[in-house]
Structure 1
């Protein structure tokens, strides 16, 4: 088993942070900072550890915000040149030259916590910090509290030579970023965000384009018809990279069988002849896999692209079934061509779902439309 993700915030990382802050701020109480930041570290999860480091920074950095930000900026490692790869990689730790990697998270959150009354200074610091990790969480309070000013600054960053600055524009404006605060102003009206995403849709970095797609996927949860319209527009004479972006952005809508999105992607209703769903076992125990297969035939007179998904209809406490759709396969079938598909799905205990024994259902979907289903029993010990 590998190192737990939460151990990215270790006592060693905290000690390295303290050393680099002390280097530029001789009055710094490094021992007190390390004591406060490391308290009960073993029982804390990753975000809790980051927040504890944030609290320690708030205690031990200068009370004057401008001076504190100067200390943070001066403690950083040199910014890598140009576009570089994953700065969230576990190997991206504090270096001998200064702070970078995951240690940036609580520093950026410090700017968000204490810098709301000094936007220019704060945004300049986040610009520096994001080049060494990401300020996608820290920028969100500024978007919520100072929407117009922050959007104007982000608009200028769209053309920045550094990929992580450009990605901050697309990732920081996501309406439903995991771990991040919600941005209801953009949930209600995503137009300002879409304007930024449109300028980034053909970014030279896949890292940025992937973020654009995830942002659109968030928007689709509240404005599905709008995202279908965007997909239609963006796919017109689109390069391959943008086609991939749009398909990734529409993944949730495809799973839902959203008609406008399916049309935009050329995945409208298709006539298929489907066999019944064949189950290897009619009953499984918790922790086991349900194996199933199906035969599909394109019953049209032209080649068709198919998106094959499947849904597991989980049994609820009241006996009703609730579907959860999973991706399976994309394929292209010529007129009259057939294919046999096999899949296994493991059912095991997870924190986000409570399982109940009894009858469950597997449903196979082609381009969002149900073509076959079969029941199986889940046995609980």
Structure 2
């Protein structure tokens, strides 16, 4: 797992997730299961170092402190960790039940002590712990080190009765999993497991499958469209749920104007739509102000449309970076013009996107097709 952000002044997610109360909870869980485990001493040691650690560093530090209080023999250590685990996450829920970050350390210890010489026991530990806290990050070193053996486990887990285990199969194999170690295997390798999981009854799993397809779409867009078409024809998933999954999986391709993605969603790239006008409130905009514009679209026949706008930003060195923004999904009636308006604030001090002065343009995009543009000048 990548390093997280440092602890900042004011609100701290790290402090909210990792504090004396949450650490005391896992300390008591281990003390109840492991003879001689001193919960009070463990808690003091752990929280004493927290002010200097980021969120992810705190998880690793808890693992460090647990490690020296457990057996040096990994199978015995794994047994101790399993004995100290809390009850499984509520099986009656079907979504948004990620677990507590303080229950992540068994995953660290599975990788540290089980990767090379205790693969099967380590995978057993991951299997049990993902029912308490998602093990999508720890499974990835095993996929890289033991791809065939780990994939064989995942094939079994794809049909497990516990939906957290099933989700791990999809989430742990995502090509672009945030903050996670890169996988060595081909991005298409997990597709047979997604074929199984796409029909899952829980949104927690189907959201992961959709995010996984969105990852694959970055390198294999046509394959993703073909996969979704296959699932539609198969009819194994509820139609309403599969429609939601399809929209979610194709969100990046829709922004890019991918014709196959648009067609699958019912939006024709060659829809008979014209841009009657595009008016900017002003063609000189100062950073921090809003770019205001209004457009008028008309269709010669009734047409479902996804209306986006693309701002072509100036970047350092004279480069230009287009960025797509969502505006509206609508149905245009034949011969009846429809007006769309937008105020887009150009944040001058955004931490994730830096503005540069100079000529910019906004482009109207309908069903992935550019219909017209207007130029404005940005000053800072």
Give the drift of 1:311: 1.6
1:359-374 residue pairs with structure 2 within 5 A? 359-374=359-374
Structure 1 counterpart of 2:233, from 231, 236, 247: 236
Distance 2:44 2:244 in 1: 48
Q: CA deviation at 1:30?
A: 4.4
Q: Return the match for 2:220 from 219, 223, 232.
A: 223
* Separation of aligned partners in 2, 1:168 and 1:312: 37
Name the counterpart of 2:133. 133
1:281 & 1:42 partners in 2: Cα distance? 49
The answer for unaligned runs of 5 or more in structure 2 is 1-8
Alignment partners' CA distance in 1, 2:264 and 2:364: 22
The question of whether the paired residues in 2 share the 8 Å contact of 1:83 and 1:164 is answered with no
Q: Structure 1 residue 3: deviation in Å? A: 4.7
Aligned-partner SS, 2:360: strand
Q: How many residues align?
A: 364
Give the alignment's TM-score, normalised by structure 1: 0.88
Structure 1 residue 338 corresponds to structure 2 residue 348: no
Would the aligned equivalents of 1:83 and 1:163 in 2 still touch at CA under 8 Å?
A: no
1:142-181, aligned counterparts within 5 Å?
A: 142-181=142-181
Residue 110 (structure 2) aligns with: 111
* Aligned equivalent of 1:211: 208
Q: Which residue of 2 aligns with 1:313?
A: 312
Partner deviation per Cα, 1:98-125 (whole Å, 9 max, x = no partner): xx62212232222122221222222222
Deviations 1:190-237 (A, max 9, x none): 1x3111111111211111111100000111112122112223322337
Does structure 1 residue 87 correspond to structure 2 residue 97? yes
Q: How far apart in 2 are the matches of 1:258 and 1:133? A: 36
C-alpha contact 1:275 1:372 (8 A) present in aligned 2: no
By how many angstroms is 1:353 displaced?
Answer: 2.8
Distance change >3 Å, CA 133–CA 215, structure 1 → 2:
same
Deviating more after overlay: 263-272 vs 358-367: 263-272
**Residue 36 (structure 2) pairs with residue 15 (structure 1):** no
TM-score by length of 2: 0.88
Distance 1:48 1:351 in 2: 23
Range 206-215 or range 273-282, more displaced: 273-282
Q: Deviations over 1:125-182 (max 9, x none)?
A: 2222111221111111111111111111111122222221111111111011001111
CA positional deviation for 1:263? 2.9
Please give the per-residue CA displacement for 1:2-32, whole angstroms capped at 9, x wherever unaligned. 9532221223222322222122223335456
